[in-house]
Structure 1
């Protein structure tokens, strides 16, 4: 599996390295052995093609092939090649393997040593095409790991009351983080929006004072400003923040993406160390994203570079807002963990954003930011309890999966990235990483495996084993009769020569051509020796005629004329010769105890004997350990008759079951055979009878199903007569009542029709009611002159 790196440090470190190496070595061997046991080699005609097929090896022994065998017969499994006489030193079968290059033990750094949280740190993989390789990665978060926290605040006018609280929270934030680690630094930055319409008013007076009313003073708007680089001086943080004034803009969304991008890429200006990096983002509204800049005529996409001038991002009107994907990639590559501290109305938007940015959490901020210290503390604990392990820079064609073992029996298998949640400080977790390649990668390729939000990483170097190194390359080799170059046991003939050993002059272009030399044999004679008869195809159509001899194509084709194909035998259950024999020139040679064209017939008769011990119940013959029933009979043991009376056939079986206390008793199997018998409360339909029982039969799924029940008692004649009489009286009474109700209804309808007719014929005298007088009111307008 390759040599392991020897360490010249302390004996303890060497022991740890060796232990992990042995573990990884055994893992590789088990995995490779498992794959090899189930893999199937597909023969190829060249050494390079052969070893690029999983589980295949190549024999470079010069005299390995038998007459008539093609070069593809050199390709096969190691066991098969050894069984055919190839020695180990002539077998080309590169083995996948691994070398540990750097494997420092995990160290919390409490004794002054370098903090190590990820192990190993560097390794080299030797991969074969299509063959996976596994190795283990261990991670343990060190207690007291240093923290850099940069506080990024929205200074739009709606955050005025929040700013007053933040001015007094510097020491509290440091104190809260000091409980986690002794090394904490804090910085402060602020943002508003791009100074352009329609984000910010460009009226001269509003540019100077963007506050809503003139009695309040606000500082001019800006996109992002680095107020205080990272420092461990809480008093300086409080002093610099207290000097800040609120600002203002026109629209609700802010330039938070611009601010986060500059805070991430301006490493020196912000003062980031190679420690845990936390960016706290506070706002009470949403954010602008890529494309919004076009509203102000800003169309150049963000270039992801630092553009701070005297601590301020002054090129915000040159570049559009970053996209979510671009910002996510920048934060991840710079190992920055993000805490969104936003008010309740903005929480849904930022939660959706957090799903797209790894190592980010969202906390609900009170309207005046009074809970910001507790929010940062809770969010940091949430971030530190979740570990994501992922690969970066892996070349195309390389497939990487993770099995996460998080302790307490918690495991996630076959994931695209490692993931463990609810992890405590100093809890060790492990990931089994599986790497496989679907393409032959030339040269060395590097990629990295790292936990999100941490600077430590594992460097993995990959080399593919895709080319043979037989170490026998020799021109004009004697095996090739001096007319070709030997490489991996195969002759590459010089121009004008052919044959497995380059023994023939290439003198024929078609069958029957004129001879050009070569031992005095003409082309027709050479081709004739490749035909079994004058009308046969050359080499039976399964090979090539080279130097008057057939070179067969395919690993299963052989014979002087390639007339034997060991893959054309009959199959049973999709297995050649049923898996109970070998194929010899198209015919199965069966193992003892089997017969038939596909070795499908076992000689035993165990499956033909029924419960009564008879072969096929005397109604058939046992062939291939299966009953071949006579016409009219069926079932596994030919125990059923299609044209027989079922009542007579099964009455003894039902009688036997009816007399048993337990219907599952097997004492009736001799009488019932394969019949399925079930006792039920009653049996509907046409019945068969037998001594106190009734039963019915039904053929279903090539079996007979019987349901039986106790025969019903004889009906009492007296009871039947009395019951019939009473029923008749009741029935006649109901008929009389119905007739009476119909007659009554007809009478009522007829009388109603008479009433309607008389009403239409009646005429009333139309005279005025003497008691009724019209209401009359007369009003005179005094201003109206009638003249």
Structure 2
């Protein structure tokens, strides 16, 4: 409970600080529009007769002072205008819906975020337009031939993704000007062997479902030549993106622009080398044959121009480049929204795989973007394909498949009101990258109150002095040159310094004592957040909250005193700067009537403040205890041992000199506050108790006759028990050993008997010996060692 209380106090203090900060922020706003635009917690009172000085305040503070029907605090509003559900319909069956909702109207108050749920899903079998832009300089000749042979395979592979696929082809070289190409007449016709005349960009085949035309056009296209290494690819990209009709882009389709090259690129500013200084106008300039007509008059486009146009037309660029150019185009792709890059083989043999892989990378990512202005902040959250409750801050989800639905939560917040009134209504788009669909938000920013709009306010109102202001939302909005609550002051024809001097009290350094505003020489005192706290006086010099406090209570609380004009007025029975002291000395007399604070202290605020007398320090409620007096348990114990039990270190002569009165009691107990109990151990290890009381004249001791002695230890029993235990353990261990060895011997003997019973030889035979099947005897050795002749063998 203790920790809960402390934690609660801390939280309340923090909340109090927050409220105070918000309240002060609200209080500084003088019109209803500025009030509601400053903070979402601020509210305005439009009541005509309003006593408080601050109409802009926290709603909770206004409720006690303002009629609730007159409190203005607008809230965010949403109205869905178009809310079609997600669908997988293709272009043949109708338009697919890949984002929900499609259009909403939002009324948002500044600094009050609104959470909007957005659902996205890439439709299955969605139309795909693929336009192939190829570098046809001489070095790409083998790539062109390979691409012509792979056109059918590319169409077949994309057909696995969607049934509605169209393919187109365009090519580029560079600007027809020095130093990009040779301008010799012969070189302009034929820059290299087997080459056609150079050109900037040509749309050779608009998007078409007949993929056979693609192969034919690629095969028919001629390569050309230029002088420098970089090519005019940026001109080609710009024309391929902005020439929507000539290229044949559909409004509802996934637009892919494959850019194939083995060289670098020229960009904005490089045109100056040829004297071309006119910036790119981001417009379409293709003639009837598909050639780019402004190649020698307009500079190359910049990164930002291309990025702006691909975002506008929802085009995904796939850079198919050779290994030597991969790094630079990889960096370039990061500058273009929704683009990717892949390595192209030397003869472009892997172009089909490259396009398929890059298409998969593009479609497996769902990313939301928006065109919100600076004063509107949009933050995205999503769980992507994870559990719905685990939202994280992100505008991008990866690893999705066609048909997967992704839910985003967009926190939309108006940071501030635009200065231009026309910007209070804006149209914002939130769109998935690469898809030609978007959520359109008609945003209405609440920067003024209803009571400020025409028809609700009174121009030249008689409620404002001489009609010098417009009465709106309960106040006079003064015209130029007029000030005051009712526009009663002329700020142009008066001396403001003189008026302000009238608001100073004596030697005060601030007008209205720093607790109010000076208007026309009169102080208007501030209003506190706490309704019980009041500021008053001609110069706002008095208040009821700045008095001394005890434990956070003004004047120690209402039962002790009240605060008036910065000073505590104490109730009867209390005194002190904060009414913290009791106005009596009765509480300083001890029960034994030994005098005020026992004659050893003074009575302050109804409590004894003890003195130090002759270096003796006294303490206690009535100064009855001596902190450093010589009498103590340690100083008396030796004498008590001597007098009571004839023990201890003192001799008989020293014992006689012990100057105190000793009384023997059956039980030593403390009877009053002046007595102290002592417990010690004697020479025989027995404890004894005594109580003493030290007065000014003498010391009296009550000693307990009996001692608390421990029972004697039976040594013989302990020794006998230990020896008996050892013997028993030894016998037990010996018995266990005997049992185990007997079991082991019996098992071994049984094993021996079993092996002998199973033997296949007689007891006197060697089981390893076998007799010979045939015996021979040599006649030469027929004589024995003694020289006798042996009889012939019968064998």
| Separation in 2, partners of 1:537, 1:154 | 78
| Alignment of structure 1 residues 176-191 onto 2, 5 Å | 176-191=157-172
Q: In 2 relative to 1, CA 188–560 (structure 1 residues): closer, same or farther, beyond 3 Å? A: same
Q: In 2 relative to 1, CA 60–317 (structure 1 residues): closer, same or farther, beyond 3 Å? A: same
User: Which residue of structure 2 lines up, in the alignment, with residue 40 of structure 1?
Assistant: 22
User: Which residue of structure 2 lines up, in the alignment, with residue 379 of structure 1?
Assistant: 358
| Alignment of structure 1 residues 94-173 onto 2, 5 Å | 94-109=74-89, 112-173=93-154
Tell me by how many angstroms 1:490 deviates.
2.4
Tell me by how many angstroms 1:62 deviates.
2.3
Structure 2 contact 37–416 (Cα < 8 Å) conserved: no
User: Which residue of structure 1 lines up, in the alignment, with residue 537 of structure 2?
Assistant: 560
Q: In 2 relative to 1, CA 584–246 (structure 1 residues): closer, same or farther, beyond 3 Å? A: farther
Secondary structure of the residue aligned to 1:364 is strand
Structure 2 contact 145–218 (Cα < 8 Å) conserved: no
User: Which residue of structure 2 lines up, in the alignment, with residue 723 of structure 1?
Assistant: none
Q: In 2 relative to 1, CA 478–587 (structure 1 residues): closer, same or farther, beyond 3 Å? A: farther
Whose radius of gyration is greater, 1 or 2?
Answer: 2
Q: In 2 relative to 1, CA 572–194 (structure 1 residues): closer, same or farther, beyond 3 Å? A: farther
| Separation in 2, partners of 1:223, 1:135 | 47
User: Which residue of structure 2 lines up, in the alignment, with residue 257 of structure 1?
Assistant: 234
Q: 1:56 aligns with which of 42, 55, 61?
A: 42
Tell me by how many angstroms 1:96 deviates.
2.0
| Separation in 1, partners of 2:320, 2:100 | 34
2:303 is the alignment partner of 1:324: yes
User: Which residue of structure 1 lines up, in the alignment, with residue 277 of structure 2?
Assistant: 299
Q: In 2 relative to 1, CA 334–481 (structure 1 residues): closer, same or farther, beyond 3 Å? A: closer
Structure 1 contact 476–483 (Cα < 8 Å) conserved: yes
User: Which residue of structure 2 lines up, in the alignment, with residue 390 of structure 1?
Assistant: 369
Q: In 2 relative to 1, CA 343–61 (structure 1 residues): closer, same or farther, beyond 3 Å? A: same
Moved more, 542-551 or 433-442: 542-551
| Separation in 2, partners of 1:354, 1:389 | 18
Moved more, 368-377 or 463-472: 463-472
| Separation in 2, partners of 1:454, 1:599 | 76
Q: 1:243 aligns with which of 215, 220, 245?
A: 220
Tell me by how many angstroms 1:276 deviates.
0.7
Secondary structure of the residue aligned to 1:169 is helix
| Separation in 2, partners of 1:120, 1:553 | 49
Tell me by how many angstroms 1:45 deviates.
2.9
Unpaired runs of 5+ residues, structure 1, are 1-32, 514-522, 590-595, 601-629, 631-787
| Separation in 2, partners of 1:92, 1:107 | 43
Secondary structure of the residue aligned to 1:45 is coil
User: Which residue of structure 2 lines up, in the alignment, with residue 282 of structure 1?
Assistant: 260
Q: In 2 relative to 1, CA 340–511 (structure 1 residues): closer, same or farther, beyond 3 Å? A: closer
| Alignment of structure 1 residues 72-83 onto 2, 5 Å | 72=54, 74-83=55-64
Structure 1 contact 576–598 (Cα < 8 Å) conserved: no
Structure 1 contact 483–503 (Cα < 8 Å) conserved: no
User: Which residue of structure 2 lines up, in the alignment, with residue 343 of structure 1?
Assistant: 322
2:356 is the alignment partner of 1:356: no
Q: In 2 relative to 1, CA 261–571 (structure 1 residues): closer, same or farther, beyond 3 Å? A: farther
| Separation in 2, partners of 1:336, 1:62 | 59
Tell me by how many angstroms 1:569 deviates.
7.4
Q: In 2 relative to 1, CA 551–156 (structure 1 residues): closer, same or farther, beyond 3 Å? A: same
Moved more, 427-436 or 369-378: 427-436
Secondary structure of the residue aligned to 1:227 is strand
Secondary structure of the residue aligned to 2:450 is coil
Tell me by how many angstroms 1:436 deviates.
1.8
Secondary structure of the residue aligned to 1:470 is helix
Tell me by how many angstroms 1:294 deviates.
1.9
Q: Deviations over 1:631-673 (max 9, x none)?
A: xxxxxxxxxxxxxxxxxxxxxxxxxxxxxxxxxxxxxxxxxxx
Tell me by how many angstroms 1:550 deviates.
3.9
User: Which residue of structure 1 lines up, in the alignment, with residue 472 of structure 2?
Assistant: 487
Secondary structure of the residue aligned to 1:363 is strand
User: Which residue of structure 2 lines up, in the alignment, with residue 271 of structure 1?
Assistant: 248
Tell me by how many angstroms 1:202 deviates.
2.0
Over the aligned positions, Cα root-mean-square deviation in angstroms equals: 4.3
| Separation in 2, partners of 1:391, 1:599 | 65
Q: In 2 relative to 1, CA 155–475 (structure 1 residues): closer, same or farther, beyond 3 Å? A: closer
| Alignment of structure 1 residues 212-227 onto 2, 5 Å | 216-227=193-204
Q: Deviations over 1:595-619 (max 9, x none)?
A: x99999xxxxxxxxxxxxxxxxxxx
Q: In 2 relative to 1, CA 80–252 (structure 1 residues): closer, same or farther, beyond 3 Å? A: same
| Separation in 2, partners of 1:433, 1:497 | 45
Tell me by how many angstroms 1:64 deviates.
2.6
Moved more, 197-206 or 337-346: 197-206
Unpaired runs of 5+ residues, structure 2, are 1-14, 570-575, 581-611, 613-795
User: Which residue of structure 1 lines up, in the alignment, with residue 386 of structure 2?
Assistant: 408
Structure 1 contact 92–470 (Cα < 8 Å) conserved: no
| Separation in 2, partners of 1:303, 1:511 | 58
Q: In 2 relative to 1, CA 439–571 (structure 1 residues): closer, same or farther, beyond 3 Å? A: farther
Structure 1 contact 137–433 (Cα < 8 Å) conserved: yes
Q: Deviations over 1:258-291 (max 9, x none)?
A: 1111111111110110111000111112111222
Q: In 2 relative to 1, CA 491–241 (structure 1 residues): closer, same or farther, beyond 3 Å? A: closer
User: Which residue of structure 2 lines up, in the alignment, with residue 92 of structure 1?
Assistant: 72
TM-score (structure 2 length as normaliser): 0.60
Q: Deviations over 1:239-267 (max 9, x none)?
A: 22221122222222111111111111111
| Separation in 1, partners of 2:497, 2:213 | 101
Q: Deviations over 1:430-457 (max 9, x none)?
A: 2211222232132411121111111101
Tell me by how many angstroms 1:404 deviates.
3.1
Q: In 2 relative to 1, CA 466–506 (structure 1 residues): closer, same or farther, beyond 3 Å? A: closer
Moved more, 118-127 or 145-154: 118-127
Q: In 2 relative to 1, CA 493–180 (structure 1 residues): closer, same or farther, beyond 3 Å? A: closer
| Separation in 2, partners of 1:570, 1:263 | 80
2:409 is the alignment partner of 1:432: yes
Tell me by how many angstroms 1:532 deviates.
7.9
User: Which residue of structure 1 lines up, in the alignment, with residue 684 of structure 2?
Assistant: none
User: Which residue of structure 2 lines up, in the alignment, with residue 231 of structure 1?
Assistant: 208
Q: In 2 relative to 1, CA 257–38 (structure 1 residues): closer, same or farther, beyond 3 Å? A: farther
- Aligned residue pairs, count: 536
| Separation in 2, partners of 1:232, 1:483 | 75
Structure 1 contact 567–576 (Cα < 8 Å) conserved: no
Structure 1 contact 569–576 (Cα < 8 Å) conserved: no
Tell me by how many angstroms 1:113 deviates.
4.4
Q: Deviations over 1:548-598 (max 9, x none)?
A: 96422464672133224678678999x999xx9999966899xxxxxx999
| Separation in 2, partners of 1:352, 1:496 | 60
